[in-house]
Amino acid sequence: MSKAELHIDGKKIELPIVEGSEEGKAIDISGIHARNGIITIDPGYSNTGSCKSAVAYVDGERGILNYRGYPIDQLARKSTFVETSFLLIYGHLPTADELSAFREKLVKNSLLHEDMLHFYDGYPTTAHPMGILSSMVCSLSSYYPDFLDPSNPEHVECLIPRVLSKIRTIAAFAYKKSIGQPVIYPCNSLDYCANFMNMMFAVPSEKYDIDPEIVKALNALLILHADNEQNCSTSTVRMVGSSDANLFASIAAGICALWGPKHGGANQKVVEMLQYIKDNNLNVKTLVAQAKDKNSGFRLMGFGHRVYKSYDPRAKVIKDMSRDLLAKLNRSDPLLDIAQELEAIALEDDYFIERKLYPNVDFYSGITYRAIGIPLNMFTVMFAIGRMPGWIAHWKEMHESSDNRIGRPRQVYTGSRVRDFVPIEQR
């Protein structure tokens, strides 16, 4: 095994190098403090690997994302969300029997405890559904107190289909409650995505036809969001789970992390930005200039990524998908035209070229959600439903790993040096 050398104050420290199965090497610094009393610092963890993982592989320079080795564009075209969820969580593509057993478990676990319906009554109609989603997912832990031990594989197996299935019911009910319509219960004869569409848009008073093109697009969208290795929300799920907090609590924390506009919340912000351009008849170049001006406090939403320094492979698929879907539905969306114009101008601009800022997954996803009929404030909820198998896979992988330790970063203290307490009358 090759080694790295670190020289501090004339002292040589040899550090092992960890090699991945694809491109990617890491210097193992875990023993430095114990042996030499010095830590490493890396705000935002841009150069820190927090774990070894076999779930997904990202090559940000080449714009590659594979789940368990399978390229995401192939999965988006050929797989279903349920099949890809199985792949991420259990590590292999399911056989027909495995898939049907997994589907059956999801079907059986789609209902919420009836008492949970009362929770929705406590929220104002203006409540953002991400807050509702997070608290409802955490509340699920109250209903399974005997199955919360992360080290017990039977408990974990019991909770996986529950959280994956119920998140979609929680999300659809939150939407129905916010618009004052009766909730539509899950229907066992429908598959995962069709069931979700039905819960979102059916009403008891008339028949709702589920468009297979929309179901296909939704499957692909959820697949494309299903994992992206150690992003902010997944790292949060791992961090919270590392204290042996239960699966529901860990995922609820991940949902909160995803909500932020620098992460999953960007999909809502992108469409708000495009709508603002349209409503105010703004010149797209003005907005690009504003994004370049550090004093404006404005960033081009849906652009840039910590890891992807070329076109985000997910954005590529979603961009084509949004165009195809609108064409199939025989619709147009002026926001798609604005988005394409914005992208073309930004990609020719030195500021974006030098910083390698490209459209990310959130740039075109909102336009596709609009075409499907998903309301604006539910966009990030859709991301959360999609990311669920990734969160579960990482949480499970972490607990099964032999080097699982509680996540506890260190710091370099920069505050006051030790001083004596001053009584209040002397201050």
User: Exposed, middle or buried: residue 82 (CB in 10 Å: 0-12, 13-18, 19+)?
Assistant: buried
Closest to ligand CMC by CB, 216 or 309: 309
Residue 264 is a binding residue for ligand CMC (CB under 6 A): yes
Using CB under 6 A as the binding rule, whether residue 277 contacts ligand CMC is answered as no
Return the residue of 94, 241, 254, 304 that touches ligand CMC, per CB under 6 A: 304
Whole-angstrom distance, CA of residue 254 vs CA of residue 360? 20
Q: Please identify the residue of the shown chain whose CB is closest to the bound ligand CMC.
A: 304
Can residue 285 be called a binding residue for ligand CMC (CB under 6 A)?
Answer: no
305 counts as catalytic: yes
Residue 300 interacts with ligand CMC (CB under 6 A): yes or no: yes
Site for ligand CMC (CB under 6 A): which residue of 301, 371, 374, 393?
A: 301
Does residue number 393 form part of the binding site for ligand CMC (CB under 6 A)? no
Least CB distance from residue 231 to ligand CMC, whole Å?
Answer: 5
| Least distance (Å) between residue 286 CB and ligand CMC | 14
Q: Measured from the CB atom, is 262 or 285 closer to ligand CMC?
A: 262
In 3-state terms, the chain is what percent helix, strand and coil (to 5)?
55, 5, 35
Catalytic residue (choose from 73, 225, 227, 305): 305
Is residue 291 close enough to count as binding ligand CMC by CB under 6 A? yes
Would you say 11 and 36 are in contact if contact means Cβ atoms under 8 Å apart? yes
Q: Count residues contacting ligand CMC (CB under 6 A)?
A: 20
Which residues pair with residue 4 across a beta bridge? 15
CA-based nearest residue to 171, from 192, 191, 149: 192
Please say whether the beta carbons of 17 and 28 come within 8 A: yes
DSSP one-letter code for 151: T
**Where are any strands of DSSP class E within 87-145?**
none
Q: Say how far apart CA 72 and CA 423 lie, in whole Å.
A: 63
Least Å distance between CB 327 and ligand CMC?
26
Interface residue with ligand CMC, options 192, 303, 369, 391 (CB under 6 A): 303
* Alpha-carbon separation of residue 223 from 80, 135, 238, 302, 377 (angstroms): 7, 24, 21, 19, 20
Among residue numbers 25 through 44, which ones bind ligand CMC (CB under 6 A)?
44
For residue 255 the two structure tokens come to: 């949902």
Binders of ligand CMC among 234-263, rule CB under 6 A? 262-263
Binding mask 330-369 for ligand CMC (x = CB under 6 A): -------------------------x-x--xxx-------
82 is a site residue for ligand CMC (CB under 6 A) = no
* Pick 92 or 262: Cβ nearer ligand CMC: 262
User: Angle at CA 67, nearest 5°, toward 61 and 71?
Assistant: 65
| 326 within 8 A of 319, measured Cβ to Cβ | no
Is residue 155 annotated as a catalytic residue, yes or no?
A: no
Residue with tokens 């170049």, as numbered in its chain: 285
Residue nearer to ligand CMC on the CB measure, 199 or 385:
385
Give the x-and-dash track for 150-179 against ligand CMC (CB under 6 A): ------------------------------
Question: Position 41: which residue type?
Answer: I
The yes or no reply on residue 318 touching ligand CMC (CB under 6 A) is no
Task: Order across the sheet with 11-19: list the strands.
Answer: 3-8, 11-19, 25-27
* Neighbour-count burial of 311, counting CB atoms closer than 10 A to its CB (0-12 exposed, 13-18 middle, 19+ buried): middle
What is residue 122's three-state secondary structure? coil
Q: Among 225, 333, 362, 394, which one carries the catalytic annotation? A: 362
- Segment lying near ligand CMC (by CB under 6 A), choices 34-42, 245-253, 296-304, 411-419: 296-304
When asked if residue 266 is in the footprint of ligand CMC (CB under 6 A), the reply is: yes
Residues that bind ligand CMC (CB under 6 A): 44, 231, 262-264, 266, 291, 299-306, 355, 357, 360-362
Residues marked active site are found at 305, 362
